């Protein structure tokens, strides 16, 4: 995407040059940049071209048998195992953390020859009130605790309360904070206000990494999605994330393509590396592979690891386990054969 009227091209674009891959492999945290409207103001995204591009993702590249199992193992390592329910309890969070520590049954791990590999999910994601139980349950595992904050999911509480919620979650031990942006700033084109808001949130996060949730289903156009992504990264977001999972439309491949192109454009323009997290509606192993293919083709191998790519999901792990069991045994199992996820 470049030029005054940039569009998403229909053909596959090289993932990155060797210099960009090298930057990603040794990346430091995104510290943000000064506000630079020249990087996004003139951008225009072609919807039909975007849809044609993503329609080829799973038709030109497929993975089967042992290769599919390997891709699914990698998907497990990139899952933010999530519970964001009104009836969450410390006990539920502890069970989720136990699953994050041991995401596959021991017999499947042995059958895949992974006994020596420390297989675990990318993180556990909870509400601020549940951060302390999650931190305790994950002690010694190395699995980070992510917390939503800033008036999730609507983000319409006063700014001082949104910042206080970030600080509370960090004080409780959260390693990562998933913030929600004010959609009104995007819908009214007030990009300076969006930049200042996200920058202030980034400062409140301190050492905790920040994922900026754009709620793309409420941003109306793909051009808005691109611009919001760029502004969030300028303000210091470590990840850009599609959705809260609670909008009418959550993660889709067209939206994700636009966002990963913005990640690449931001890297090329500033040298700063950002991650990407699709969330909401990703429920099947087939979905997971489609997004992994997108990351490999558009950004390259560094974005196939949890430090730069995550799935926000609660039910995805269960279907991945079923597919791996089918690979091992040749039979599909019922969902209740696998632990809570």
Task: Categorize the per-residue pLDDT at 334 as very low, low, confident or very high, splitting at 50, 70 and 90.
Answer: confident
pLDDT at 70: 96
pLDDT at 2: 39
DSSP 158-216: -HHHHHHHHHHHHHHT-SEEEEE--HHHHHTT-HHHHHHHHHHHHHHHTTSEEEEE--G
Which residues are known catalytic residues?
Answer: 178, 241, 277
Q: What is the mean pLDDT of residues 208-236?
A: 98
Asked if 275 contacts 28 with a C-beta cutoff of 8 angstroms, the reply is: no
pLDDT surpassing 50 at residue 247: yes
Higher pLDDT, 334 or 163: 163
What does pTM read for this prediction?
A: 0.92
Task: Categorize the per-residue pLDDT at 106 as very low, low, confident or very high, splitting at 50, 70 and 90.
Answer: very high
Highest mean pLDDT among 27-36, 221-230, 313-322 belongs to 221-230
pLDDT at 197: 98
Taken in order of first residue, the domains within the chain and their CATH numbers are: 32-337 (3.20.20.70)
């Amino acid at each position: 995407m470049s030029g005054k009227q940039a569009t998403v091209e229909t053909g596959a674009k090289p993932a990155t040059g060797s210099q960009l891959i090298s930057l990603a492999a040794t990346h430091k945290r995104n510290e943000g940049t000064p506000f630079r409207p020249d990087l996004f103001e003139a951008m225009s995204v072609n919807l039909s071209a975007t849809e044609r591009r993503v329609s080829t993702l799973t038709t030109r590249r497929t993975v089967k048998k042992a290769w599919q199992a390997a891709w699914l193992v990698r998907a497990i390592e990139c899952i933010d195992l999530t519970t964001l329910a009104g009836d969450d309890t410390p006990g539920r969070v502890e069970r989720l953390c136990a699953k994050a520590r041991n995401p596959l049954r021991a017999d499947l791990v042995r059958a895949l020859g992974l006994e020596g590999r420390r297989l675990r999910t990318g993180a556990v994601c909870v509400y601020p009130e549940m951060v302390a139980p999650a931190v305790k349950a994950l002690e010694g595992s190395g699995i980070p605790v992510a917390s939503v904050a800033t008036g999730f999911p609507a983000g319409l509480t006063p700014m001082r309360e949104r910042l206080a919620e970030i600080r509370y979650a960090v004080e409780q031990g959260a390693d990562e904070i998933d913030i929600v942006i004010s959609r009104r700033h995007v819908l009214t084109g007030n990009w300076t206000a969006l930049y200042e808001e996200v920058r202030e949130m980034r400062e409140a996060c301190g050492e905790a990494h920040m994922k900026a949730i754009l709620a793309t289903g409420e941003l109306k156009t793909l051009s808005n999605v691109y611009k919001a992504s760029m502004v969030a990264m300028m303000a210091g977001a470590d990840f850009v994330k599609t959705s809260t999972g609670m909008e009418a439309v959550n993660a889709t491949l067209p939206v994700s393509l636009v966002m990963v192109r913005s990640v690449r454009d931001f890297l090329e323009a500033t040298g700063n590396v950002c991650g990407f997290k699709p969330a909401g509606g990703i429920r099947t192993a087939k979905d997971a592979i489609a997004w992994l293919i997108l990351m490999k083709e558009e950004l390259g191998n560094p974005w196939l690891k949890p430090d730069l790519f995550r799935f926000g999901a609660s039910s995805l792990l269960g279907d991945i386990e079923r597919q791996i069991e089918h690979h091992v045994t040749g039979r599909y199992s019922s969902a209740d054969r696998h632990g809570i996820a």
